[in-house]
A and B are shown apart, each in its own frame.
Chain A
Amino acid sequence: MALYSGSQQIPQQRRGLTAIDAITALIIILLVVQIWLLSATLDAFLAGHTETALPGAIVSGLLCAGCFAMYEFVRRVDRDARPNR
């Protein structure tokens, strides 16, 4: 195989790895937001403000769904890049 010159010849495998790296970074960002949300909701709950529990749970659910969607994308990239499995 030839030495690669220029980004137009990035092999399929390397592109897939870069995509997975980017998605993992996005998942981490969502996770950090979720961690903060959990701590804030817990703090409000312990202080007696129960009105934050429902919106907190809904947003947390949305964030979790986002993480799952991105993980499914990772699996798809993996399937496309390594078709023998």
Chain B
Amino acid sequence: MFGYEFYVDPSRCIGCQSCVKACEECETHRGHSMINFDFIDRAETIETAAYVCWHCDDPTCAQVCPADAIKKGEDGIVLSALKPRCIACSNCVLACPFGIPKIVPEYEQMMKCDMCYDRTSVGKRPMCATVCPSQALAYVRTEEIAARREKPSNVFYFGNQKITTQVYMMTPSGTDSVTLDITEFMWEKANA
């Protein structure tokens, strides 16, 4: 979009949470960060991962919204829920395969990353990509990302469902799509 693409590489994330703080700075949603920041397995490892909305081509959140609040703009960006329409029913929270939308109870509103549309539409980079020191979140031209060892992929398989996104995930070269079996991660360790 706009000549640039957004690339996410969780292996580069150092857990500084600059992206979380930078996102919070935005006037329109000050104090609430839209970054989904995860500690992978905090007891065992210091690994972290930061995610933004993947801006799917056929957004599941928009399809399941009963209030028709989530819209996809002309540039392919999936916008956050429209304030007059969102009823905070959490349908999108449950439906998103990546777990991106969050309900903010005090506003009774769903809020999610919208790729800093107010910035990207005028040629600036999103806040998170601007501040990420390791460029785990990168908003660059396609040529610049080709220099990396990992290769970008925007095709995901969740079981039988194929999802294509605008945001790219950096994957080991040779992988052309990311396959995820959610049930694998639901197994709780016995007596953990």
Contact = CB atoms under 8 A, between A and B. Distances in A.
Q: Do chains A and B touch in the complex (CB under 8 A)?
A: yes
Interface of A: 1-3, 11, 13
B115 to A, nearest CB: 14
Interface string B52-88: 0000000000000000000000111000000000000
B74 A13 contact: yes
A10 B1 CA distance: 17
A6 B2 CA distance: 16
A3 B75 CA distance: 10
A2 B74 CA distance: 12
Interface in B171-190: none
* Residue of A1, A2, A13 contacting most chain B CB atoms (<10 Å): A1
Contact of B3 (A2, A11, A13): A2
Nearest to A3: B2
A20 to B, nearest CB: 16
Interface of B: 1-3, 74-76, 123
Nearest to B121: A3
Contacts, number: 11
Q: Interface on chain A toward B: helix, strand, loop, or mixed SS?
A: loop
Q: Interface on chain B toward A: helix, strand, loop, or mixed SS?
A: loop
Contacts of B75: 1
B32 to A, nearest CB: 29
Nearest to B123: A3
B63 to A, nearest CB: 15
A13 to B, nearest CB: 7
Contacts of A1: 1-2, 75-76
B138 to A, nearest CB: 20
Contacts of B123: 3
A37 B99 CA distance: 59
Nearest to A11: B74
A62 to B, nearest CB: 39
Contacts of A13: 74
8 A-B pairs closest in CB distance: A3-B2, A2-B3, A1-B75, A1-B1, A13-B74, A3-B123, A1-B2, A2-B2
B71 to A, nearest CB: 14
A2 B141 CA distance: 12
